[in-house]
Amino acid sequence: MALTQWPRPNPPGRVSVGLKTLLLGALLLPGRAVHAQTMPDAEVPPLAYVALQQQYPQARHVTWRRVQDWYQASYTQGPARRLVRFSINGDVEATGQDLALGALPAPVRHVLATYYPTRTFCRAIEVTNARTGGLTYEMATCETAFSRTVTLTANGRKIPRVRPQ
């Protein structure tokens, strides 16, 4: 299992093969699927949008996306990249921050090496459930144009991803 840091640098003036594939794939997908990644501010429920501004006034470079039944704002605050997931009512469901792949708990690293030996992970996020305080770790693969996410608890138990209906 290769653990690399995100983003991978490209020489100036060159577009990576992965980026070319992503752009081509985005052009070939139906309109709804293309917008599944990010969403404009105008499509974010007003209560979630206002909650971000009130609770995280230092948030900069905010991008929104729909994650299962939540609205996720990814943003920078100082040098750190963070996220917060809101319900449609503006309630905080989870918060998270980027984590170095080498800083993942040993059971998580073991599961990745054992069950995903051919995958290359480029990003890890430590997510805290706002209601329970429970920690999960979300690791994104980076070897294809479309990233896949593996979600594990601190002891390495896999959390199944709920598919939208």
**What stretch of H or E contains 52?**
helix 46-55
Other beta carbons within 10 Å of 108: 24
| Between 37 and 11, the higher pLDDT residue | 37
Kindly tell me if the per-residue pLDDT of 36 is higher than 80: no
Kindly tell me if the per-residue pLDDT of 60 is higher than 80: yes
| Between 133 and 29, the higher pLDDT residue | 133
Kindly tell me if the per-residue pLDDT of 24 is higher than 70: no
Using a cut of 0.75, tell me whether the model's pTM lies above it.
no
**104 Cβ contact partners less than 8 Å away, ≥ 6 residues apart:** 112, 124, 137, 139
Residue 107 to residue 75: CA distance in whole angstroms: 28
**Ordered structural domains, the chain, with CATH:** 17-153 (3.10.450)
User: Which among 156, 95, 157 has a CA at the least distance from the CA of 128?
Assistant: 95
Q: What is the DSSP letter of 164?
A: P
Other beta carbons within 10 Å of 24: 11
Is 60 exposed, middle or buried, given 0-12, 13-18 or 19+ CB atoms closer than 10 A?
A: exposed
**103 Cβ contact partners less than 8 Å away, ≥ 6 residues apart:** 124
